[in-house]
A and B are shown apart, each in its own frame.
Chain A
Amino acid sequence: MPLNIIVLIKVIPDLEQIKANASTGEVQTDRIPLRLETLSENAIEAAVQLREKHGGKVFGLIFGKQESAPLMKKAYAMGVDEGTVLTGYGENNPMHTAEVLCQKIRTMQFDLIISGNQSADTYTGLLPGIISSKLNINLLSNALTLSIDQATITVRSSLDRKIQNLSSQLPAIVSVTQETNQPRLPPVMQIMAAGRKQIVTEAAQVADTANVKRISNKAPKSERRKQLFEKTDEGIVAIVKAIKEEIR
């Protein structure tokens, strides 16, 4: 059965490049390059693998800002067929994000929605559940593996202390873990082809009723000594001394 799959893709600042202001400790994110969020890449890979197996179409949805739009090209290069970037993403407000995405999804035909289980920057992990409730479709979460047979999806779901084998009729929403797959590095040909593909942008139709006020956003202080040794023998002397002090 060919599948219509919607994959939810988040665009985030490159976390490794975020620096804190030396005197105030406030972190600065302006002009930090954007990238696809880690788990979103796993979600794309899972979607593309299912399409390769069953046929159909993978539709990418980003709720971001105008600047996020070019990142859809990377998703195309990884195998996403079509995509829309919804703009108007502000503060992190999962209920708003979910409502914006659901408004769009309600206009679409789909068998399956795939997302990450927890995004690498905000680490919320709420979106799959909220969307499942709002669209009234089943949630199969934290997938280690997923497979589809006719209109039934089966997932190995990784919880903290156990693994559950779950199954459900489609349509459904699946959240994937980082261990699900290794997202592909797209070949040059595909990157070039992706560059020519159209990216649709639409302004989000739902207003953000933010209920959270940010007081501060500071990097935790690191007061480490950072004493580095390239000469092993020299380093070991210092380190053995430090260890012995701690485990006395």
Chain B
Amino acid sequence: MSHLSPADLADAIGPEAAARVAAHLADCERCRRQVEELRETLAVVAGADVPEPAPAFWPRMTARVVEAASSGAMRAAPFPGTDAGVTWTRGLAAAAVVVFAVSAAVLWRQHSPLGPADAATALEEAARDLPAVSDPAALDEASGWELVADANAGIDWDAVADAGLAPPPGSTDGVLMQLSEGERRELARLLQVEIAGSL
């Protein structure tokens, strides 16, 4: 005795199975049991709801999509917490490093024996050695941190400290450097909450 095919069994789950299928089920215990099992699984699967987002999510999503369409953007602004959002914060971190490096270079120029022209040349050389990044948002985590590492590779931190650019004891930066790993994680979490709340 041949049994029902997968497509026939899928049909048999519904209330309106073909007469041929219904006739087979009337005579075939094995197929009947299989259909019952499928129906039982279907009932469990059908009852699995998706968690409902916060009510504020829907108008925000509408606004983001319409805004992106309005501006002709290829993508809407990422929601906080998405990969794109994480990339954005990585970009912010990278930008902070760059700002710090440029500020340090300016101060260094004021305190170092190098003349302004020499300092500018040194900066240009350092920038030339960095990899070209056409789209910072497309950086993944590894390449993003590699870029940051490359940007800082040439810095002589002893010279920075000698020049008085290292944070003095008790300063905010100094406190940050003395935080434990757990304290830094908690600080990062609080900052992310603040950033998410401000978007």
A, B co-complexed: no
Which residues of chain B have a CB within 8 Å of any CB of chain A? none
Which residues of chain A have a CB within 8 Å of any CB of chain B? none
